[in-house]
Amino acid sequence: MAQILLLHHIQGLTDGVRTFADSLRAAGHTVVVPDLFDGHTFDTIEDGFAWVRSQGFDEVRSRGLQAADAMTGPVVYAGLSFGVTMAQRLAQTRPDAAGALLLHSCMPVSEYSEAWPAGVPVQIHGMTGDEFFDEDLPAARALVEGAGDAELFEYDGSTHLFTDASLPDYDAAATSLVIERSLSLLERVESP
């Protein structure tokens, strides 16, 4: 079974993020979900960004990077939207990266290294009509084109955080597919 570091989105460590993590745990995987926001959750993306700005983006992101330091052995780095900024960096730069799950977002590979690391499978998941994900589609497509084991999954709809059951954007059918496809990637990676 895989060991996963799941980094939450900009609205915080919500019950929906916990539910998503539990879906992966139910398949036998170990999932670590650090609270990067010290217990704060937010009703809107804008409120979450305002709080992160008040704390400092680098400070908050460093918490996600520190969570990775506490783990040993092969790790699948997973992120939800804002969490992708940390998960993707970790997957591209750490020798213990066993895979990556990038949900609702994707950064250009060049943000963190020259190329996606060989032997690190990656999946990218987002909705086709999501204004935030639409901005990331060129980076996602370039990553898939340049990486050896990469998949891009686009879902019908226009909501952003559709995998979070505690938010209005939640889409149960799309989330079920995300979990099914994520479990497929997790089955291919080695456990510690």
Average pLDDT value over all residues in the chain: 95
Q: How far apart are CA 122 and CA 28, in angstroms?
A: 20
Q: How far apart are CA 92 and CA 107, in angstroms?
A: 11
Q: Which two tokens stand for residue 140?
A: 């996602």
Our CA angle for 27, 30, 33, nearest 5°, is: 115
- pLDDT for 189 equals 87
Q: How far apart are CA 2 and CA 187, in angstroms?
A: 7
Q: How far apart are CA 9 and CA 52, in angstroms?
A: 11
Tokens 């908050």 label which residue?
60
The distance of Cα 178 from the centroid of its chain, to the nearest Å, equals: 12
Assess if residue 12 is contained within a domain: yes
Assess if residue 192 is contained within a domain: no
Domain containing 102 — which CATH number?
3.40.50.1820
Assess if residue 175 is contained within a domain: yes
Partnered with residue 161 across adjacent β-strands are: none
Assess if residue 124 is contained within a domain: yes
Category of 101 on φ-ψ map: left (φ > 0), alpha (ψ -120 to 50) or beta? beta
Q: How far apart are CA 99 and CA 119, in angstroms?
A: 8
Assess if residue 9 is contained within a domain: yes
pLDDT in tens, 33-73: 999 999 999 999 999 999 999 999 999 999 999 999 999 88
Q: Which two tokens stand for residue 174?
A: 């799309």
Q: Which two tokens stand for residue 64?
A: 């996600």
- pLDDT for 190 equals 61
What pTM was computed for the model? 0.96
Assess if residue 7 is contained within a domain: yes
Domain tally for the chain?
1
Q: Which domain holds residue 45?
A: 3-187
Assess if residue 18 is contained within a domain: yes
Low-confidence ranges of the chain (pLDDT < 50): 192
Q: Which of 34, 26, 28 is nearest to 176 (CA)?
A: 26
Q: How far apart are CA 173 and CA 104, in angstroms?
A: 16
Assess if residue 129 is contained within a domain: yes
- pLDDT for 73 equals 85
